[in-house]
Copies of this chain bind each other. A is one copy, B any other.
Amino acid sequence: MTATRTDRGPRSRDAILQAASDLCREQGYAAVTMEAIATRARVGKPTLYRWWPSKGAVFLDVVLDKLVEPAIELPDTGDMVRDLRTWIRGFADLFTDPHARQLLVGLLGAAQTDTELATVLREKVQRPLQAGNRQRIIAAQDAGELPAMDPTLLEELLISPPWYRLLVSGEPVTREYADQLVDAVLSVRPQRPTAAPPQK
């Protein structure tokens, strides 16, 4: 498990995450070692390991601090369709930025064979985001703003194609693609609706 913020002085925590982020930008995720992070941040290796059990755990906190909160949350302006567009365009921008891309593929790659990292990633990032989005999606479905279908599937139809392009096909995720994707998912007309169809 990664440590919470109160376990350490905020200055060295920030120095460590910044060092990891800089090294990744300079050398690529695969080449970064715990030793190099400690040296760059001017902390001892035992100190680093006391807080983070692995390189993946350090990069999880880099991603949480620097990328996820500003970019992966569904915005809430009161206009759900516009919010969905902004949200998926946010994925496009994130997955297009070379540094963010490097961090995310490195982290997700490591999580495929590091069960502990995968668990933390899901519990600290993926599930909380999904739970919040689910409530928003259900409310918008009740208001007739979104297709009446399983809300988890609706969310997955929106976010899976960008992730597929990032992790499997390597195709670019442009804003144009994001808009095209949102248009397609909003035009789903369920044959057997899972909720009562909205009345207009």
Interface residue ranges, A against B (CB under 8 Å) = 28-30, 105-106, 108-114, 118, 122, 126, 130, 149-150, 153, 156-157, 159-161, 163-165, 167-170, 177, 180-181, 183-185, 187-192
Contact = CB atoms under 8 A, between A and B. Distances in A.
Secondary structure at the A interface, as helix, strand, loop or mixed, is helix
A163 B168 CA distance: 8
Nearest to A154: B184
B184 A187 contact: no
A167 B106 CA distance: 13
A72 to B, nearest CB: 12
A168 B118 CA distance: 8
A125 to B, nearest CB: 10
A168 B126 contact: yes
Given A30-B113, A30-B114, A105-B113, 4 more contacts: A108-B168, A122-B170, A160-B164, A185-B188
A184 B112 contact: no
Contacts of A168: 108, 126, 163, 167
A122 B169 contact: yes
A29 to B, nearest CB: 6
A150 B180 contact: yes
A55 to B, nearest CB: 11
A129 B56 CA distance: 32
Contacts of A187: 188-191
Contacts of A157: 157, 161, 181, 184-185
A177 B167 CA distance: 21
B122 A112 contact: no
Contact of A160 (B130, B149, B161): B161
